[in-house]
Chains A and B, each alone.
Chain A
Amino acid sequence: MKNVKPLNLKDRVWPTSPHEYLRFEGEGIKKFLQLRAGYEKSAFVGEGQVQVRRLGASSFVKPIPAGESAITALVRHKNGKIYGGTSGRRAHLFFYDPSPDADVVVDAGVVGENMRITGLVADERIYGAAESGDQGFLFSYSPCEVLMKDIDTTGKGMREIFDSPVEDQMFHSIIDPCHSVGKIEILTRIPEAEGVTGLVIDAQRKIIYGLTSKNGSFFSYSISSKTFSLKGRVDSIREFSRKLAIDSTGTIYGAASCGRIFKYSSDVGRVESTSCVIPSLKGREAYNRVDSWALDEQSGVIYGGTIDGILFEFNPPAGKIRCIGKPIDQMRVRALTVGNDGRVFGVGGEPGKCCHLFVYEPIEHQLRDLGVLLATMETPWYGYEVDCAVTGRDGEVYLGETDRISHLFIYFPPIVRRVPAFNNFS
């Protein structure tokens, strides 16, 4: 409790108003107004195009509700659709069909209650990791393309046969708008009383790999034989990063304590430590974690982002790590993906603050902060919290928002202009 001193306002010297500044005299005020107009916009992504999609075809249905819509995992299926998993009171699986006749998000169903979907991978089906309290699950989603193989038309009527779904879809036909979704199934519960995270898939061998979230036990799940097997802890003192990466040979990488890279290959069948250590701010080595990974399928390079907000490049065959830099003045690289042209797009920033999109251009060795996400299509929306990313078939970048009300952000990077043949053409 504090008594307020009487105010003496009569003798107060007040600051000057901008339009009275000497430096803004005459034309100066116009220059200031131009500066101000640019300033207002300068914080937001200003190159390419940013859009959002609600988590539901909003012309017809309610989107996935607030508190259930935080997108915590994204994956691209070979059919071109983007599948996403949410977290919250109920965890949903959804797909986004980018084709022009759809361009909507469809809620494919609820995976569980009070649940966080921590990872999604895809082959013919979608496979997911989820945790709820102290329990971890693996689940699968079979799209209609898979389910149709088991459709038995024997004894069915014409309409029933004709209505059989053959693909996941949302079709805005003026003849008969229709949509169809597949089936979610729980595959297995993680034996230890803990969650599950860091999902990757070796699609050739049909094996899923992951980590248990408390103890950091590395596990595999054979899709063919439906067997779950623990392969040992990735770190003896249980300090580890929750994310895994897989290269094109099927070797899996992760980070143990102090950011030391470990690997697992099915040939060896156990977790091995390496000499590679991810970059860190000085003195923060003990806290270091890999926040996100993204494989450049063409070069074989794996990009990583750390909890300090550092972007690095890991070259597995060479066993080398190169620090690229820190794109924004915040901690965390929460989402990372490699674009079709090799540019790396990521989102950095701490929860509760204001995320920024950034880009790394490997050819130019340029790392740039692109700004805060702001879209006006499909609805005006600011993106403050983003936790996952994936690149679409045509090079568009999908970003999963993780807010109370969340959207699927779609970033269309600018198409690089060809160098003009003659100087007088622009």
Chain B
Amino acid sequence: MKYEAIIFDQLPMHDTCWSLITGVDDKLYVGVCGEMTGGLSAFLASYDPQTQKIDYHLEVADILGFSPAGGEAPHAKVHYSLVTDKEGILYGATHCTGAPMGDCMWRPWNCWTHPVKHFRASGLFAYDPRKRTVLFTDWLLPHEGTRCMAISNKRRKLYGISYPRNHFFVYHLETHQLSDLGRIGSVNPQCIFLDHEEHAYTTDDYGNIIRCNGDRDELESMDVQIPHASFRNGFHNVPYDVAPAPDGESVYGVTWTFGERLFCYHFKKNKLIDFGKACGEEVDDWFHIINSHVGGLICGPDDLLYFTANLPVAGGKSSPYLVVFNPYNGKREIVGEITYNGKPADHISRAAADFAGNLYFAEVGNRPTKLFKYAGAERKTGVRTIMRYWG
């Protein structure tokens, strides 16, 4: 497999790229994050496929007016909460779990009311990359990070999920008002996805699909559940990553560890199609989980679904492999292992595509932070590209 690494070499202490989206200007926008080293700020960077240049746009903490020197929990991450609207304005929200400056560990429950080390709130920013201008910043739910976000273009609102209390919220972009719709479970879903009418979807702890009705801002149970292995009870079957399908009426998704289940959800039919475990055999013990991961879902220009799966390698470890899945016949094919300097990459969070059909995969858990660019997907005519308006 031929691919190239795109390195964010000016951020040497950062270790994760959680968010990756394609902008309307055909640039790849990335939230470069640092969670293992205390006191870092997330950065918004971009990669231009035309010029093949990296651009560091902004330091998120700085534009929020936050200084890590004060000892507060930093705005070190933009998790699956970087989105673009149709005009190309980027919206990002910060996430917690990075330690304060000089500290080595941090958890929200331990520091909720700590006068210094608390996390103030998820910081929201709106940024115009063409003018290099921050349009506004705001604070979301107090003391909580934003785990994932989606944007409704026509309703001008953001949907988000808070961490750790797992509240679903709606942020109205015109009025800057935040509506907390309440708690949806204990385990954060890692994705909110949208249908054609821009209603927002996610799940509860057991993979039961929940819809936020965009007209009423109300949470509704859809009475369908993402499948799981028969020996599991469905707990933790929350979506990890969801990609829009070329038909515009459905999405492909995968659940978060514990037997990563690949599925297709058709909005109008309210129907789930089970593709089984995303890659490899179902494993029924506990110890495989640390090496088990599927992410980076994206539909290629060949009408096939690409994703990465961490598969076992020598030494009891794992390495991410690029996998191509044909939803029409259910066949999976391993394209190749993703390595850097001869060593396995850690794991892949998200994927995006440029307008030419090249696929990009964001790595988390390694230095230097990087994307992997794969140019090997066949360009077929007549395959629709659906913009992704969620993180």
For A382, list chain B residues within 8 Å (CB).
164-165, 186
Q: Write the nearest CB–CB distance from A8 to chain B, whole angstroms.
A: 10
Residue B50 interfacial (CB < 8 Å): no
B57 CB within 8 Å of chain A: yes
Which residue on chain B has the smallest CB distance to residue A70?
Answer: B182
Say yes or no: B142 contacts A354, CB within 8 Å: no
A42 to chain B minimum Cβ distance, whole angstroms, is 7
Contact of A42 with B110 at beta-carbon distance under 8 Å, contacts A18-B36, A36-B105 already known:
yes
In the assembled complex, which residues on chain A have CB atoms less than 8 Å from the CB atom of B225?
Answer: none
Contact present for A403 and B182 (CB under 8 Å): yes
Is B110 within 8 A of A43, CB to CB? yes
Contact with B along A294-337 (1 / 0, CB 8 A): 00000000000000000000000000000000000110000000
Least CB distance, A18 to chain B, in whole angstroms? 4
Distance in angstroms between the alpha carbons of A44 and B39 in the assembled complex: 25
Query: Which of B132, B182, B204 sits near A4, CB closer than 8 Å?
Result: B132
Cβ contact within 8 Å between B109 and A372: yes
Task: Provide the bound-state CA to CA distance between A44 and B136, in Å.
Answer: 37
Known contacts A9-B10, A18-B37: A66-B109 contact under CB 8 Å: no
How many Å from the CB of B193 to the closest CB on chain A? 20
Residues of A within 8 A of B10 (CB): 9-10
B113 touches A330 (CB 8 A): yes
Interface residue tally of chain A, by bracket?
Answer: 35 or more
CB distance from A110 to the nearest CB of B (A): 18
Given A17-B36, A17-B37, A18-B38, answer yes or no on A381-B186 (Cβ-Cβ < 8 Å). yes
B57 touches A1 (CB 8 A): no
Contact assessment for A15 and B132 in the assembled complex, using a CB-CB cutoff below 8 Å: no
Quick check: A2 and B183 within 8 Å, CB to CB?
Answer: no
Cβ contacts under 8 Å, A67 to chain B: 182
Nearest opposing residue in chain B for A352, CB measure? B142
CA gap between A42 and B110 in the complex, in Å: 8
Q: Is the CB of A353 within 8 A of B133?
A: no
Question: Which residue on A lies nearest to B56, using beta carbons?
Answer: A7
Across the interface, A16 reaches (CB within 8 A) one of B37, B56, B107, B183, namely B37
B101 within 8 A of A: yes
- Whether the Cβ atoms of B37 and A3 lie closer than 8 Å is no
Q: How many B residues are at the interface, by size bracket?
A: 35 or more
A353 touches B13 (CB 8 A): no
Q: A2-B134, A9-B56, A353-B143 are in contact. Are A39 and B107 (CB under 8 A)?
A: yes
Task: Evaluate contact between A32 and B104: CB separation under 8 angstroms.
Answer: yes
Contact B112–A354 (Cβ < 8 Å): yes
How far is B166's CA from A382's CA once the two chains are assembled, in angstroms?
A: 10
What sequence of 0s and 1s flags, for each residue 245-285 of chain A, a beta carbon within 8 Å of any chain B beta carbon?
Answer: 00000000000000000000000000000000000000000
- Which of B113, B131, B136 has the largest count of A CB atoms less than 10 A from its CB? B113
Tell me if B70 counts as interface (CB < 8 A to partner A): no
Bound complex: CA A67 to CA B219 (Å): 10
Asked if A40 CB lies within 8 Å of chain B CBs, one says yes
| Count of A-B residue pairs with CB < 8 Å | 103
Determine the distance from Cα of A7 to Cα of B182 in the docked complex, in whole angstroms: 39
Determine whether B229 belongs to the interface, using a CB cutoff of 8 Å to chain A.
no
Cβ–Cβ contact B12 & A2, under 8 A = no
Could you say which residues of chain B place their CB within 8 Å of the CB of A353? 112-113, 143
User: Please, what's the 1-or-0 string for A359-387, where 1 marks a CB less than 8 Å from any CB in chain B?
Assistant: 00000000000001000000111101000
The closest CB in chain A to the CB of B367 belongs to A17
Closest chain A CB from B262 CB (angstroms) = 24
Is A39 a contact partner of B11 (Cβ separation < 8 A)? no
Choose among B13, B57, B131, B221 the residue with the greatest number of A CB atoms under 10 Å from its CB: B13
A2 to B135, CA, bound (A): 7
Question: Measured between alpha carbons, how far is A40 from B182 in the docked complex, in Å?
Answer: 25
Please, how many angstroms separate the alpha-carbon atoms of A360 and B143 in the complex? 28
Residues of B with C-beta under 8 A to A7: 43, 56-59
Q: Are A354 and B109 in contact (CB under 8 A)?
A: yes
CA distance A1 to B38 in the complex (A): 30
A404 adjacent to chain B (CB < 8 Å)? yes
Q: Which single residue of chain B is at the shortest CB-CB distance from A383?
A: B186
Shortest C-beta distance, A33 to chain B (Å), equals 10
**Nearest B residue (CB) for A328:** B113
Residues of A within 8 A of B132 (CB): 3-4
- Say yes or no: is B184 at the interface (Cβ < 8 Å to chain A): yes
Q: Please, how many angstroms separate the alpha-carbon atoms of A382 and B43 in the complex?
A: 32
- Known A7-B43, A15-B39, A403-B182; further 10 A-B contacts with Cβ < 8 A: A2-B133, A7-B59, A18-B37, A39-B105, A353-B112, A354-B112, A380-B187, A381-B186, A404-B182, A405-B204
Query: A residues bordering B, Cβ < 8 Å?
Result: 1-4, 7, 9-10, 14-18, 21, 32, 35-36, 39-40, 42-44, 65-67, 329-330, 352-354, 372, 379-382, 384, 403-405
**Between-chain CB contacts (< 8 Å), 23 pairs:** A2-B134, A4-B58, A7-B43, A7-B56, A7-B58, A7-B59, A9-B11, A10-B10, A14-B37, A15-B38, A17-B13, A17-B37, A21-B104, A35-B105, A40-B105, A43-B110, A354-B112, A380-B187, A381-B186, A382-B164, A404-B183, A405-B182, A405-B204
5 closest cross-chain pairs (CB), A and B: A404-B182, A43-B109, A18-B104, A9-B10, A14-B13
